[in-house]
Amino acid sequence: MEDRAYVIDEEAERPGFFTKVSTFFSRDRDIEGDEETEFPTSPKLRVHQAPRYSITVRRQVTSFNDAVAAADGLKNGEQQIMNLSAADAHTREKIKDFMAGVNYAQEGHWEELGDNVYLLAPHFAAVDTVAASPKAQAQRN
């Protein structure tokens, strides 16, 4: 095998660092005399915005149509706080069963905040629950 030596033309004028940087940010990207250097036509910068997080508070869920609206919100990634106190007992149980199914399918979080008040959050939401204080437990019992 023979060794091949690559010869670099020392006399050819090459663009320096500052020339490369200044031409990278200018509209005219052609460098005279250096056909092999290719610069991208435009720098690709990606700016990421923080995702928008939405919480919907449903103060009085009294019908199954209200529950469907809450389910659609949960499917769209919106946290739902539902107060079922105003609904009759039979409708309340139907709504709880329906929302439990939707929440299970979305792999979301379900927390009971109070009597007939529920928090439903999408799977990507961080829901931290803190145990009730001894005083609050005594009042509840």
What per-residue confidence (pLDDT) applies to 42? 61
Quote the pTM value. 0.55
Is residue 86 included in any domain, yes or no? yes
Residues 23-40 pLDDT 10s: 766 655 554 555 555 655
* CATH number, residue 116: 3.30.110.150
Is residue 112 included in any domain, yes or no? yes
Is residue 63 included in any domain, yes or no? yes
Task: Tell the residue number behind the tokens 């005399």, with chain if given.
Answer: 33
Is residue 76 included in any domain, yes or no? yes
Number of domains in the chain: 1
Residue numbers of the domain that contains 62: 55-125
The pLDDT-based confidence of 48 (bands split at 50, 70, 90) is low
Q: Which residues contact 55 (CB under 8 A, 6 or more apart)?
A: 78, 79, 80, 81
Residues 66-120 pLDDT 10s: 999 999 988 988 899 999 999 999 999 999 999 999 999 999 999 998 899 999 9
Is residue 78 included in any domain, yes or no? yes
The Cα–Cα gap between 33 and 53 comes to 53
Is residue 72 included in any domain, yes or no? yes
